[in-house]
Amino acid sequence: MGATKLSGMQKQVLSLYRGFLRAARSKPTEDRKRIETIVSTEFRKNSKEVDRKNFQYIEYLLRLGHKQLDQLKSPDMVSISSVKIN
């Protein structure tokens, strides 16, 4: 059985997801669990709700995600919250 080849955008999304999980590891245990739950929930929700052909919106979410990840990597930042964006 051959491996499925991922598109460039799919690789970017997976890389961003892994980046959030790595950043969560640097936070206290209780915050880490909360961060991991929020990240997992948001990525799963977007994977179901966002049309895979809506490249502009996906690119927007990637940019937003990278900004949030940069903030989360800051030593001053303890946790993140989930915000509904339409």
pLDDT at 76 over 90: no
The reply to whether 79 falls in a domain is: no
User: Does some domain include residue 85?
Assistant: no
Report the Cα–Cα distance between both ends of the chain, in Å, rounded. Answer: 39
Q: How many domains does the chain have?
A: 1
Report the percentage of the chain scoring pLDDT > 70. 87
Please indicate, yes or no, if residue 24 is contained in any of the structural domains.
yes
Is 23 part of a structural domain of the chain?
yes
Quote the CA–CA distance of 65 and 37 in Å, as a whole number: 15
**pLDDT-based confidence at residue 6 (cuts at 50, 70, 90):** confident
Please count the other Cβ atoms lying within 10 Å of the Cβ belonging to residue 17.
Answer: 16
Whether 20 maps to a domain, the answer reads: yes
C-alpha dist (Å) from residue 49 to 43, 46, 67, 79 = 10, 5, 21, 25
- Domain membership flag for residue 2: no
Establish if 1 belongs to a structural domain. Answer: no
Question: Does 4 have pLDDT greater than 60?
Answer: yes
pLDDT in tens, 18-58: 999 999 999 989 889 999 999 999 999 999 999 999 999 99
Residue 86: which pLDDT band, with cuts at 50, 70 and 90? very low
> Percent of the chain scored above 90 by pLDDT?
70
Give residue 59's domain range. Answer: 8-73
Domain assignment present for 81: no
Q: How many CB atoms lie within 10 A of CB 13?
A: 19
